[in-house]
Amino acid sequence: MSIISGLLSAEQLEQLTKLTSSLSKDQQLWVSGYLAGLGAQQGGNALAQPVSAATSSQDSLTILYGSRTGNGEGLAKKALRLAEASGLKAVLKNMETFKIRDLQAEKNVLVIVSTHGDGVPPFSAQELHEYIYGKRAPKLATTNFAVLALGDSSYFQFCKTGKDFDEQLEKLGANRVAPILTCDLDFEEPAEVWFNSTLAVFAEKLGTSANAVGTQSSVSAGIGSEVVKYSKKNPFKAPIFDRVSLHGKADERQTIHLELATDDAGLSYEPGDSAAIIPLNTKKIIEEVLQATGLDAQEEVTVNGINKTLYSALRRDLELSKITTDVVKRFLELAPNAELQKQIDDPAKFKDYLYGRDVVDLFHENPTKISAAELVKLLRPIQPRSYSISSSPAACPGELHLTVSVVNYEKSGRSKRGTCSNYLSEIALDEEHVPIFIESNPNFRLPQNEETPIVMIGAGTGIAPYRAFIQHRELSEKRGKSWLFFGNRNFETEFLYQAEWHNFLKSGALSKMNVAFSRDGEKKEYVQHRLIENSAELFKWLEEGAHFYICGDMNNMAGDVQKALLKIIEKEGSLNREKAEEYITKLQREKRLQLDVY
């Protein structure tokens, strides 16, 4: 009470004492957080400032993050707010701009890092990741650390980058102060709990009151946080303006153009962002799951504390169209199976095993008796599906457009359908609304200078963000040159937005366009072939400062395009392989090479 008594009058202190003595522990925590929030709104933190002032400038916590989509950065900012509200002196550092040689000087480090795809570090973390594994990696005997890893358990190498940092920092002599937290797609709540306990440990290491940290951080998780009106937990229900098929009638494949209404929704976005859709499972796969398990659709189950029928849970809450490592591990706990265990023990084989398999396959191939409650615990929550937004908010105010490939295929003797793409292709236009929220993509943005040239490469629905880019640039008075490379299977049926691109070329919003249709000739031609054909001019654009964008399939198209780019730089720049790779790295560091791949 001595800290406060110098700030309050005798009457105020008496009133505060009476109030706090009458409160329960939970009420005290709430009031503490409320006062912290008032202080934050007034440009400071009334409770945290006296504690912070007592902390020496040397005793600080570095929150070091490596993020691709922005989730890691968002958590890092939250950790900073919690630390400061707790009285900890903390500083936020991005791995992308972090001087790797400074690592040895860091005494207390909280690492937050995501994994891109199947085990790949995000670009912002690549240099530091290589450094700690390299010959010049420093000894870190005086460093305390903890790691929060972000990932997606649908990938085989779940949270690999975070695990790498956690293991290697320890090998370099650093002291782990808390076990690593590996976060799946639902990361908010586990991250908050982990922050509270981990910051308390760092507080002890820094000589700050652990009780102050525990009290403050546990109630201040939401204080001062950025207001997000719509999210996965609270999606906007968007009315549908229109839905159009983009393929010719003779094509067996289907890509749809969907227009959603966002009027007065506060659903703001920028060209390059994605829209996350929360789908419903198809009735077909629900019936197949019920048949494979022998369960009653009307049996009552509990999901997230809410009682509902099993059918409703399968329709709205649970992932059915794919199985992941965590699901198979839980299945083996319920029903040990030697053959399935052999699959999971061989990473290469297991990765192939998972591809294209769904819950129905799992039960068909490994029949087992299961209760409805066990099935609900076995399956992972249904996850949003992300689609690059294909409209500019400046050109289409109050609207949001999506370009969606409808997924249908045969696998294991069964006809299978993509969960979200079929949901969007079949949803009633006049009767239903699409649950949606925005996923910001700060690493896929138009140049700040609108006169900067841009080169855009995409195949199939990878063309979506470029439609938004050119819509946006068409409104600019001083727009720079733009060059689009687009690939698909057939010219007549799959030249997506063909009329629009011709109009953009006429208006000058788009300067050049090259296309490749792989199934139209005897020899398959792809976008990378068009790049090679135009290598001299492409390199000239790069030398003029052009930004280079790649959107599409991560495993095939994106890799092939990057190989082609490397060849172009080697040839046209008269550089050896090492120097060409350095050129590409420089493009990435300057944010002139940006990827949106999946």
Q: Do domains 56-219 and 283-378 have the same CATH topology?
A: no
- In the numeric block, the tokens 């706090």 are attached to 20
Quickly state the pLDDT bin for 118 (edges 50, 70, 90).
confident
CATH architecture of 283-378: Up-down Bundle (1.20)
Q: Are 459 and 527 in contact (CB under 8 A)?
A: yes
Q: What is the pLDDT of residue 273?
A: 96
Cα–Cα distance, 533 to 350 (Å, whole number):
40
Q: What is the pLDDT of residue 211?
A: 45
Domain boundaries in the chain?
A: 56-219, 236-279+384-439, 283-378, 454-597
| Alpha carbon 355 to its chain's center | 21
| Alpha carbon 485 to its chain's center | 26
Backbone angles phi, psi at 204, to 5 degrees: -65, -40
Query: pTM surpassing 0.85?
Result: no
Q: Are 437 and 236 in contact (CB under 8 A)?
A: yes
> Between 3.40.50.2020, 3.40.50.300, 3.40.50.360, 3.10.300.10, what CATH number should domain 56-219 receive?
3.40.50.360
- Whether residue 252 is predicted with pLDDT greater than 60 in this model: the reply is yes
Q: What is the pLDDT of residue 9?
A: 46
Q: Which of 216-230, 295-309, 389-403, 437-451 is predicted least confidently?
A: 216-230
Cα–Cα distance, 520 to 231 (Å, whole number):
43
Count Cβ neighbours within 10 Å for each residue of 30-68 and write b for 16 or more, e otherwise: eebbebbbebbeeeebebbeebbeebeeebbbbbbbbbb
Q: Which amino acid is at 568?
A: I
User: Across the strands, what pairs with 504?
Assistant: none
Cα–Cα distance, 535 to 141 (Å, whole number):
50
Q: Which residues contact 361 (CB under 8 A, 6 or more apart)?
A: 323, 411, 412, 414
User: What's the rounded mean pLDDT across residues 378-400?
Assistant: 95
Q: Which of 52-66, 134-148, 345-359, 535-549 is predicted least confidently?
A: 52-66
Quickly state the pLDDT bin for 217 (edges 50, 70, 90).
very low
CB atoms within 10 A of CB 403: 24
- Whether residue 460 is predicted with pLDDT greater than 90 in this model: the reply is yes
Quickly state the pLDDT bin for 590 (edges 50, 70, 90).
very high
Structure tokens at 75: 């958590």
Q: Which of 29-33, 170-174, 239-243, 545-549 is predicted least confidently?
A: 29-33
- Whether residue 141 is predicted with pLDDT greater than 70 in this model: the reply is yes
- Whether residue 463 is predicted with pLDDT greater than 60 in this model: the reply is yes
- Whether residue 55 is predicted with pLDDT greater than 50 in this model: the reply is no
Q: CB burial class (10 A; 0-12, 13-18, 19+) of residue 266?
A: exposed
- Whether residue 549 is predicted with pLDDT greater than 70 in this model: the reply is yes
Q: Which amino acid is at 563?
A: K
Q: What is the pLDDT of residue 185?
A: 82
Q: Which runs of consecutive H residues, i.e. helices, occur in 22-86?
A: 25-41, 48-53, 71-85
Quickly state the pLDDT bin for 179 (edges 50, 70, 90).
very high
Cα–Cα distance, 55 to 253 (Å, whole number):
63
Inter-helix orientation angle 325-334/338-345, to 10°: 150
- Whether residue 250 is predicted with pLDDT greater than 80 in this model: the reply is no
Cα–Cα distance, 391 to 387 (Å, whole number):
12
User: What's the rounded mean pLDDT across residues 285-293?
Assistant: 97
Cα 254 to Cα 113, 247, 436, 457, 575, distances in angstroms = 37, 6, 22, 21, 43
Q: Which residues contact 373 (CB under 8 A, 6 or more apart)?
A: 301, 302
Cα–Cα distance, 208 to 48 (Å, whole number):
11
Question: Would you give the DSSP letter of residue 520?
Answer: S
CATH architecture of 454-597: 3-Layer(aba) Sandwich (3.40)
Of residues 280 and 42, which shows the higher confidence score?
A: 280
Task: Provide the phi-psi class of 559: left if phi over 0, else alpha when psi is between -120 and 50, else beta.
Answer: alpha
Cα–Cα distance, 191 to 198 (Å, whole number):
10
Quickly state the pLDDT bin for 153 (edges 50, 70, 90).
confident
Q: In the CATH hierarchy, which top-level class contains the domain 236-279+384-439?
A: mainly beta
CB atoms within 10 A of CB 201: 16
- Whether residue 530 is predicted with pLDDT greater than 50 in this model: the reply is yes
- Whether residue 214 is predicted with pLDDT greater than 90 in this model: the reply is no
327-375, pLDDT tens digit by residue? 999 999 999 999 999 988 888 888 889 988 999 999 999 999 999 999 9
Pick the most confident of 180-189, 258-267, 300-309, 428-437: 300-309
